[in-house]
Structure 1
Amino acid sequence: MTPVQTLAQPLQLACGISLKNRLAKSAMSEALASLDNRPGEKLERLYGVWAQGGIGLCITGNVMIDRNALGEPGNVVVEDERDLDALRRWASAGSAHGTALWMQINHPGKQAPKGLNRETVAPSAIPFGPEMSSFFATPRELRAEEIEALVQRYGRAAGIAKQAGFGGVQIHGAHGYLVSQFLSPRHNQRSDAWGGSPEKRRRFVLAVLAEMRRQVGAGFPIGIKLNSADFQRGGFTEEESLDTVRALAEAGIDLIEISGGTYEAPVMTGVKKVKDSTRRREAYFLEFAEKARAAVSVPLMLTGGFRSAEGMTEAIASGAVDLVGIARSMAMEPDLPNRLLAGQAPRHQVRPISTGIAMVDRMALMEVAWYTRQLRRIGEGRAPRPTESGLAAFAIGLVENGWRTFQTRRLRA
């Protein structure tokens, strides 16, 4: 088949849902909610633009399960049905043109900026390393009853997403957020039922999946974004990740998105140097995807590094993956799927975002800030600005985030 024919194929999931093509918009942080964490017109406009752009599966940025545990100002929070009408409008806009819109459900754990929440919690009271400790506070260790309550919150958010008309949900189990923290021996040093061995560290994510399934039923798709590895000494390894993939498949997960890295080791952004062989194959984590494919038959989605229809097609044709995840390109070209499906090349290539400040450029925070600004432009009805200065975006974002953090804390005081 030609690249266009390969990418245009529909994909049938085991739960009975069909995705219209093999292109998926991976989650990106939008930070477009109101100060009191409610969705509105900007999110409707952004996701409406993406649906019009031809994407088959579109996954939202992280929707938090607790107003007292934000990952950043402007997160959407789903705790109950208070915003059901607004969620329905968002789901309707993002589901146009046959796009499947899935809500990514998340809790930041300790990965929450200092001053935003009253406290941060995590599996264990382990601080970040020296470069990150100025941005993130040392967390308090979660009590066992709090962990059980969090599992219920994940399930409740999934049930509300289904009620609002979203086509599925995704557990955020990657990039150093709470589920990822539970899986990692570096961050989870508990000695109770929730830690101490790989099997016990997996207990949290499996409990979250089970509770979500209980609340949404068998025919509603549940996916997960999972690290291939943390790429940190003492962290989540490929071997543990493959065991987690097997356990999730056995538990009935519908789709596994493979990524990798954390804010401390941001390999998912390309900031860290990748091997020449990896760069030629485009996808950062394709070798791991091949191992995962040998282990399970669950549909796999691979995100990170794709630059061309040929690279995407090669990954799918190899049988290693079923869906290609694109994210940063969609912030610059919301209609990229339509272009790829018409046999046209991308207008813009993802490039390293640099401020000239070495410490900042080594972290994923700069990448998040720059692309979040592009999403805001689309949400406000403006065109993205692919040539925007990294230093300017960092400076503006620093001021805006500081002000919104202050306003958020004041609102909840």
Structure 2
Amino acid sequence: MLTRRGTSVGIGSAVAAGAGRLFGMGELLVLALAGIALISGSVVWTRTRRIRLRIQRSVQPARVHAGGKARVQLVLTNLGGHAPLLQLTDPVTGTLGARLGVGPLLAAERLSTSYLLPTQRRGRLEIGSAEVDVVDPLGLARTRVGEGPRTMLVVYPATQTLAPPRLARGPEPLGLAADVHTLQRIGEDFYALRDYTAGDDVRRIHWPSTARLGRPMVREDEVPRRSRVTVVLDTRSTAFDAGPLIDERFELAVSAAASVVLASATRHDPLRLLTVAGADTGFVTSGEGLAQVFDHLADVSTSAQGSLRSTLAAAAATAVGAVVVVLGGTVFDAARDAEAISAAGSRTSSMTVIRVCRPGDALPAGGPGVVDISTLAELGPKWAAAQTSSQANAVST
């Protein structure tokens, strides 16, 4: 295979040969033959190299938030004889990929090289497979001598540092207790029964009561169950006004949802992610469950399917704790959405609504638990103010 330089020399040789025959100039014919001879020699030289390479790749870290640093580490091991100058190409989704010059390598020599990945936007970056070509000394021809494995980098949404959502104590078992540590000293004696909800430990099902009542019942101990957080993400395409900035507004909504998820995870709350399109992670805690939530946020996109009312009803039906709704600020039917939010809010102990809008948008006035943002930087202070206001209202009532 010819390189760009080799292709240029080949085209020049062909033009020189044509001009030499046309004008009867022997010098041009000699020049053309010299170019063809160089190309032929380079092709033969690269194809006769006996090179065996082993390519290993690692990505650190395998998951990163947008804007974070992720580095690809490549290790090339020469399993054959002396290797001349090599050209390594590592394709990366959505980019031109990485092109690196490597070598020469002695027999059994190992060489490590690395490069940074673009992580400005959330999503998945597929890396590889790496291709290594041997290039002749003149840079006219190349021959592939090795290929490496494929690797995936998951880029999570950008986030802001937030305080965990405020949790009303009323609906929680022993919710009036002011201190978790005090409750832990009480013990784990049997306390009460309640209906089973998604995410409960099946080992706490009280089978005699379940058989008697005909529905799953769960034992409640005096050690309080941690309050739950449900995050509802609006994915309706009508909720984000059409135009060149629709992607930016939806990305802001996803980042706001991810920020709430991350804040809840720092308190080790069982949390659940619902999207209007119908996705439901169920209640998860730390570890792989939390990684699955962020993996979904890395892939989520807008959809023409789904109903905000039914999604909020599902959240309110099993929500014990806080519900946070991330809503597109420009909606097709604002009145119906406000009604759905109000109905769901009346059945939950704590609800906060984050509305994503454009700068200068005049949205209907929201209550103390409504946060309007047009940039991610606004989320932190406005979230803190809304949580403080909601807590003050809860105390006053």
TM-score normalised over the length of structure 1: 0.27
Higher helix proportion (structure 1 or 2) = 1
- RCO comparison, higher one (Cα < 8 Å, 6+): 1
Higher strand proportion (structure 1 or 2) = 2
